Amino acid sequence: MLHRLRTTVRQVSESTYGVVEEWFKSEEAAKVGVETWDVNKVREGVVRGGGGWHGQGWLGSGNWRVERTQMDEAGTCSCCGEKLVSIDIDPKETENFATSLSKLASQREVRGDFIRFQEWLQRHGPFDAVVDGANVGLVNQHNFSFFQLDTLVNRLRQMSPSKRLPLVILHQNRVTGGPAQNPNNKRLLESWKKSGALYATPVGSNDDWYWLYAAVNCKCLLVTNDEMRDHLFQLLGTSFFPRWKEKHQVRLSVSRRGLNLHMPPPYSIVIQEAEDGEWHVPTTTGDDIETPRQWLCATRARNTK
């Protein structure tokens, strides 16, 4: 059951959490497992599966200790001390995803427009980060803020190993109308354009295709608070997308101190089985990125020889 959940939903709702918790506390759960196992086979299974699962069955014996817990920034469980792993993504999967994304975008956008963008990206890329400009300029704002967008761009430039500007994707109307008419904003847009760091998507286009394709193609960070749940992203219909998003999406919050960047975690937020039998099951969270995620931690006596 847990492995099926791991490959399909990755995180569980509170109601499913209750079912999993109840099972671990049951007599049936106490009966499953082995007291001794081949450590090398377990490690081989972990490597073969990319991390976070070994496929060698239940390890250990006796009653499970089940706790609700949280992870620290490094992915260490505050209950048992186990450190969660970052599960590998096959580079070939990324290439295949970029290809299917390109095909879908070409079908739904004016084909010539999207091809022009791909050619532009080939000339000016790769980038260390891609920014969903419309989303960032409106975070916690009533009106579009070029100041906020510029603050983020400069922060990302400082973080970049090459000190390069990120790629900012904005609709054509954001580049020509409204606040863009302000002389300071005009100068800012012009400087981004000259640096090859701004792409204005054509009138009538959906800029989601552009910033997502750019980030996947460049294998870089994507800065947006867009949860990417609507019909456009459902068209992608692949288990790869949530895994990619988890490793690449940077989200923002605004406080009195200014912009806060919430970087991708250094561990995978997915059901994980440790080499010595512990299980960690993450719950889903709402859109509030400040709320710590709750995990189920299930451990028992360890006998590994």
Structural domains of the chain, with CATH: 2-86+282-299 (no CATH), 91-262 (3.40.50.11980)
Please count the other Cβ atoms lying within 10 Å of the Cβ belonging to residue 16: 15
Within 8 A by CB and 6+ apart from 288, the residues are none
Q: What confidence score (pLDDT) does residue 303 get?
A: 45
Taking Cα atoms as reference points, which of 114, 151, 148, 153 lies closest to residue 131? 153
Q: What is the pTM of this model?
A: 0.84
pLDDT in tens, the chain (305 residues): 676 777 777 789 999 999 999 999 999 999 998 888 889 998 898 887 778 888 888 888 899 999 999 999 999 999 999 999 998 788 888 999 999 999 999 888 888 999 999 999 999 999 999 999 999 999 988 899 999 999 999 999 999 999 999 999 999 999 999 999 999 999 999 999 999 999 999 999 999 999 999 999 999 999 999 988 776 777 777 678 888 999 999 999 998 888 999 999 999 999 999 998 999 999 987 666 667 899 999 999 654 43
Instruction: Tell me if 289 sits within 8 A of 251, measured CB to CB.
Output: yes
Interval 147-161: pLDDT, tens: 999 999 999 999 999
Taking the C-alpha atoms of residue 214 and residue 130, their distance in angstroms, rounded to an integer, is 7
Per residue in 54-74, is it b (16+ CB within 10 Å) or e — as a string? bebebbbbeebebeeeebeee
Q: What confidence score (pLDDT) does residue 305 get?
A: 39
CA dihedral 157, 286, 88, 244 (to 10 degrees): -60
Interval 35-87: pLDDT, tens: 888 899 988 988 877 788 888 888 888 999 999 999 999 999 999 999 999 98
Tell me phi and psi for residue 127, to 5 degrees.
Answer: -115, 160
